[in-house]
C-alpha cells in the first residue's frame, strides 16, 4: 500500500465526516425545525417551563435531570477511558516515528494524523460531556427549589437556558464519540476508513432527522 493511497484514504475518511457536518450546519441555519437537535432543544425548554408551573413536581424534575446527568457522566467516562487508551497505544508508535525520522524531524504519516484526530475527538467528547454534567447539575438545583418561590422565579430563565445547553453539549459529546468509529477503522485498515465514514454518516443522518410527528407539531406551532 503506497503512501499516496494511504493519504487519499485518510483525506476521504475525514472529508466525509466534515462535509456532512457542514451540511448539518447549513440545515441548522435554514430549516432548524427539521433537525432533531433543534427540536429536542425546544422540547427540553418546554419541559422545564411545564414543570415550573406545577407545584409538587420538584422531585420528578430532579429525578429526570439526574437520569440525564448520569447519561452524560457515562459518556464522559467512556471518552476519558478511550483517550487514555489511545495515548497509551499511540505513544510507542510516536516514539518509533521519531526514531525513524532521525535528525530530519517527525515523520508525519497518515496513521499519526488520524491518531491525533482520534485523540482530538475523544477530548472534545470528554469536554462536552463534562460541561453537560455541569449544566445539568445547576439545573437540578433550580428544579429542587419550590415552584412559586422567589428564588425559583429568579432563576427560572437560567434553568431554561441550562437544560438547553446541557442537552446540546451532551448531543455533541455523543456525536464526537460516534465519529471515533471510522478513525479507528482507518487505523486498522486505511482503505476501510472511507467506507466506515459513509456508514457513520448514514447513522448520524438517521439520528439528525426529526420524527414526522414532531415536524408536524413544529409546523402547526
Parent domain of 76: 13-208
Q: How open is the CA angle 92-104-119, to the nearest 5 degrees? A: 35
pLDDT tens, position by position, 89-131: 777 766 666 555 554 555 678 888 898 899 999 999 999 999 9
pLDDT for res 107: 67
Q: Is residue 213 part of a domain?
A: no
Q: Specify the pTM.
A: 0.83
Q: Is residue 2 part of a domain?
A: no
pLDDT tens, position by position, 33-46: 788 888 888 899 99
Number of domains in the chain: 1
Sign of the C-alpha dihedral computed for residues 51, 53, 57 and 59 taken in this order: positive
% of the chain with per-residue pLDDT over 70: 87
All cell numbers assigned to 171 = 448531543
The pLDDT confidence band at residue 220, using thresholds 50, 70 and 90, is very low
Sign of the C-alpha dihedral computed for residues 75, 81, 83 and 85 taken in this order: negative
pLDDT for res 90: 75
Q: Is residue 142 part of a domain?
A: yes
pLDDT for res 221: 35
> Is the pLDDT higher at 6 or at 210?
6
Q: Is residue 6 part of a domain?
A: no
Q: Is residue 7 part of a domain?
A: no
Q: Is residue 216 part of a domain?
A: no
Q: Is residue 174 part of a domain?
A: yes
Which whole number is the average pLDDT over 49-61? 90
The pLDDT confidence band at residue 217, using thresholds 50, 70 and 90, is very low
Q: Is residue 218 part of a domain?
A: no
Q: What is the mean pLDDT of the chain?
A: 86
Amino acid at each position: 500500500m503506497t503512501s499516496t493511497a494511504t493519504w487519499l484514504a485518510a483525506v476521504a475518511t475525514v472529508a466525509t465526516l466534515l462535509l456532512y457536518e457542514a451540511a448539518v450546519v447549513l440545515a441548522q441555519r435554514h430549516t432548524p425545525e427539521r433537525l432533531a437537535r433543534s427540536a429536542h432543544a425546544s422540547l427540553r425548554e418546554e419541559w422545564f417551563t411545564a414543570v415550573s408551573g406545577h407545584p409538587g413536581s420538584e422531585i420528578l424534575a430532579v429525578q429526570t435531570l439526574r437520569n440525564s446527568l448520569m447519561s452524560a457522566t457515562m459518556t464522559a467516562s467512556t471518552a476519558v477511558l478511550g483517550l487514555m487508551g489511545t495515548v497509551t497505544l499511540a505513544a510507542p508508535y510516536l516514539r518509533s516515528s521519531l526514531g525513524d525520522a532521525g535528525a530530519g524531524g517527525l515523520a508525519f504519516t497518515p496513521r499519526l494524523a488520524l491518531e491525533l484526530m482520534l485523540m482530538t475527538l475523544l477530548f472534545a467528547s470528554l469536554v462536552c460531556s463534562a460541561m453537560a454534567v455541569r449544566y445539568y447539575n445547576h439545573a437540578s438545583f433550580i428544579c429542587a427549589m419550590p415552584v412559586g418561590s422567589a428564588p425559583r422565579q429568579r432563576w427560572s430563565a437560567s434553568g431554561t437556558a441550562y437544560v438547553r445547553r446541557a442537552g446540546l453539549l451532551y448531543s455533541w459529546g455523543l456525536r464526537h464519540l460516534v465519529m471515533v468509529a471510522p478513525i479507528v477503522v482507518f487505523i486498522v485498515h486505511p482503505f476501510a476508513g472511507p467506507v466506515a465514514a459513509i456508514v457513520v454518516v448514514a447513522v448520524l443522518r438517521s439520528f439528525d432527522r426529526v420524527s414526522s410527528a414532531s415536524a408536524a407539531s413544529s409546523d402547526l406551532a
